[in-house]
A = this chain, B = another copy of it.
Amino acid sequence: MDDPQYAEVNQEALYRIFTIPEAPDSTLGKIEKHLSENLMGFLGEHIVTREKPLQDIEKDFQASQLPELPQFVSDHTEFLLDKLVAHSVHTSSPRFIGHMTSALPYFLLPLAKLMVGLNQNLVKIETSKAFTPLERNVIGMLHHLVYGENEAFYQRWMHSAQHALGAFCSGGTIANMTALWIARNRLLKADGEFTGIANEGLAAGLQHYGYKRLTIMISERGHYSLGKAADVLGIGRKNLVAIPTDDNNRIRPDLLRQACQRINDEGGKVMAIIGVAGTTETGHIDPLDELADIAEAYQAHFHVDAAWGGATLLSNSHRHLLQGIERADSVTIDAHKQMYVPMGAGMVLFRDPAMVRAIEHHAEYIIRQGSKDLGSLTMEGSRPGMAMLVYSALHIIGRRGYQMLIDNSLEKARYFADLIREQDDFEVISEPELCLLTYRYVPARVKQALTQANAEQVQRLTPHLNALTRYIQKRQRENGQSFVSRTKLTPPQYHREPTVVFRVVLANPLTTAEMLADVLAEQRKIAQKATSLLGALRTELRELGLLEPH
């Protein structure tokens, strides 16, 4: 074309990018090999990330104008490797034990490429075909893992057009939101002249049923996505009622029951009770059976947020920890957490396959009534075929393989807790129920002093220890040898004083005992150099009269 606006764009070259390349000695074949080697190199290095301040990285990513001219794939990949990959976080590193994003089995990489290349869209059979039954199969198997219904049940419902055993989601947040959306719509359903909340809206629903407010009950350790859900669904964050926890970060059923009764008495309605199966901060599991009883008593939807801990059901040795989950109306499980699948694989399961009717929707050009298009039953619209990666991981690892991985993670967490306890200058703050625990560094003298400190003394010492913990965590992250995260808890042993702690998630099968010892050694070393923080701590200790050993 002569048009100057196309100058320097070669149409033939442009169309070639959509044409199948002749593998593997084509340019693209070579680039692919180069990228793969580089990725393996990155994943093979035992450092968490090459440190560069975020502000400096931002300088590489601040052009506001779109690039005008095409760039060679090879040039662009060099840029990516240099400016992006090199400054990514090595989430697969066995020394990256700070978050729930962990190792990936390598067989998932070629499968992910296949999945992306097929570019199916699960919204509709016409753009997904076999991926739709596959996704329903994955949801069905997870449903069986949680609810264990009989074979006839799955034969009947797994592929039924107007039913769903669950929904595949981009992540746990959308999964939790979907569960609460269903709970809300079922509660304020059509009734007489009232055509239902989906049609008339929340205010009309509250008015029709005469409820002053709806509430969602959750322990104070509940995930922040639930606050978001309460906001999005129009319920309001203040109606997400946080119930205090016991000494093991589990919801107090007695206090929950009182709160439910009070809400009822005041003309409100408990819409949902949420049990947490693996809190994000401490990994503890709420007493699900007791929550189910309370949900029954108050006719509330019972949801279990097992986004992280749900995979424990794959271990016959530990699934009893989630006893009662089978009584939940809905359950969230993220395959991209303890099921070792890449980011983007959330799921919500529904005990009753007809529950999804509360949010069903149709359109003429897509997801027509009576079709098996999944788009009519999910919060999201167009969605990729991520379910394939869950399906493959389940088959290639097998339930017994998962059991071994999960059991080993739990053992490792208990081992690490023991190791921490053996040190003079570290202490466990929350014990591992699953493979998550919290701890902190406390100079030996302070640790000893704390054993006999009163509430006021603890209150005065804690800010200094918090500053030290923060300092160590940041410095260790910057060193790039290993990574633990941090959070703030209110430990009962320290009079519920807000306490900053290190948080570790031990789900990477390649993390060794030696690496765990290294983590502590490095933290100790960093701490010993924090002279001004240690000085302030010593001064405080002296002022409190706690300096001399007793």
Task: Other than A65-B144, A66-B398, A364-B487, give 19 A-B pairs with Cβ distance below 8 A.
Answer: A14-B509, A15-B509, A23-B36, A39-B118, A43-B117, A54-B132, A64-B154, A64-B158, A67-B398, A91-B119, A91-B127, A171-B383, A202-B234, A203-B203, A224-B363, A232-B233, A344-B383, A344-B384, A365-B488
- Residue of A197, A236, A477 ringed by the most chain B CB atoms within 10 A: A236
Contact A54 B129 (CB under 8 A): yes
CB of A492 closer than 8 Å to a CB of B: no
- Chain B residues closer than 8 Å to A65, beta-carbon distance: 141, 144
Q: Which of B37, B106, B361 contacts A18 (CB 8 A)?
A: B106
Which residues from 102 to 125 on chain A have a C-beta closer than 8 Å to any C-beta of chain B?
103-114, 116-121, 124-125
In angstroms, how far is the closest chain B Cβ from the Cβ of A237? 5
Segment at the interface with B among A68-76, A257-265, A294-302, A444-452: A68-76
Contact B181 A144 (CB under 8 A): no
- Chain B residues closer than 8 Å to A105, beta-carbon distance: 17-18
- What are 14 residue pairs bridging A and B, where the CB atoms are less than 8 Å apart in the complex? A18-B508, A35-B114, A39-B117, A62-B140, A64-B141, A66-B145, A88-B120, A101-B121, A112-B117, A126-B483, A174-B379, A231-B359, A281-B365, A364-B488
Contact B49 A201 (CB under 8 A): no
CB of A538 closer than 8 Å to a CB of B: no
- Chain B residues closer than 8 Å to A7, beta-carbon distance: 400
Copies in the complex: 2
CB of A380 closer than 8 Å to a CB of B: yes
CB of A210 closer than 8 Å to a CB of B: no
- Chain B residues closer than 8 Å to A121, beta-carbon distance: 91, 99, 101, 343
- Chain B residues closer than 8 Å to A173, beta-carbon distance: 379-382
Q: Across the A-B interface, give the 8 residue pairs with the lowest CB-CB distance, nearest first.
A: A234-B234, A201-B236, A202-B234, A365-B487, A64-B154, A87-B130, A224-B363, A173-B381
Give the distance in Å from the alpha carbon of A137 to the alpha carbon of B203 in the complex: 40
Known: A199-B238, A213-B201. A159 touches B381 (CB 8 A): no
- Chain B residues closer than 8 Å to A200, beta-carbon distance: 236, 238
Which residues from 272 to 322 on chain A have a C-beta closer than 8 Å to any C-beta of chain B?
280-281, 314, 316-317
Contact A113 B364 (CB under 8 A): no
CB of A85 closer than 8 Å to a CB of B: yes
What residue in chain B is nearest A14 (Cβ atoms)?
B401
- Chain B residues closer than 8 Å to A314, beta-carbon distance: 66
CB of A241 closer than 8 Å to a CB of B: no
Contact B112 A70 (CB under 8 A): no
Give the distance in Å from the alpha carbon of A508 to the alpha carbon of B15 in the complex: 10
Known: A199-B238, A202-B236, A317-B5. A110 touches B20 (CB 8 A): no
In angstroms, how far is the closest chain B Cβ from the Cβ of A35? 5
CB of A25 closer than 8 Å to a CB of B: no
- Chain B residues closer than 8 Å to A166, beta-carbon distance: none
- Chain B residues closer than 8 Å to A503, beta-carbon distance: 365
Give the distance in Å from the alpha carbon of A155 to the alpha carbon of B65 in the complex: 12
CB of A539 closer than 8 Å to a CB of B: no
Segment at the interface with B among A388-396, A422-430, A520-528: A388-396
Q: Which of B67, B107, B112, B399 contacts A68 (CB 8 A)?
A: B399
Give the distance in Å from the alpha carbon of A126 to the alpha carbon of B90 in the complex: 10
- Chain B residues closer than 8 Å to A385, beta-carbon distance: 343
- Chain B residues closer than 8 Å to A107, beta-carbon distance: 17, 28, 31, 73
Per-residue contact bits, chain A 4-46, to B (CB 8 Å; 1 contact, 0 not): 0111110100110111110110001001110111011011100
* Number of residues on chain A facing chain B (CB within 8 A): 188
Contact A236 B400 (CB under 8 A): no
Contact A154 B400 (CB under 8 A): no
Contact A343 B119 (CB under 8 A): yes
Q: Which of B31, B70, B336 contacts A397 (CB 8 A)?
A: B70
Give the distance in Å from the alpha carbon of A5 to the alpha carbon of B401 in the complex: 10
- Chain B residues closer than 8 Å to A219, beta-carbon distance: none
In angstroms, how far is the closest chain B Cβ from the Cβ of A388? 7
Contact A228 B118 (CB under 8 A): no
Contact A128 B361 (CB under 8 A): no
Q: Which of B14, B233, B334, B384 contacts A404 (CB 8 A)?
A: B14
- Chain B residues closer than 8 Å to A509, beta-carbon distance: 14-15, 18
Contact A116 B112 (CB under 8 A): yes
CB of A342 closer than 8 Å to a CB of B: yes
Give the distance in Å from the alpha carbon of A113 to the alpha carbon of B110 in the complex: 7
Give the distance in Å from the alpha carbon of A384 to the alpha carbon of B115 in the complex: 15
- Chain B residues closer than 8 Å to A110, beta-carbon distance: 28, 31-32, 35-36, 113
In angstroms, how far is the closest chain B Cβ from the Cβ of A281? 5
Contact B98 A109 (CB under 8 A): no
Contact A141 B63 (CB under 8 A): yes
CB of A482 closer than 8 Å to a CB of B: no
CB of A432 closer than 8 Å to a CB of B: no
CB of A172 closer than 8 Å to a CB of B: yes
What residue in chain B is nearest A72 (Cβ atoms)?
B396
- Chain B residues closer than 8 Å to A66, beta-carbon distance: 141, 144-145, 314, 394, 398-399
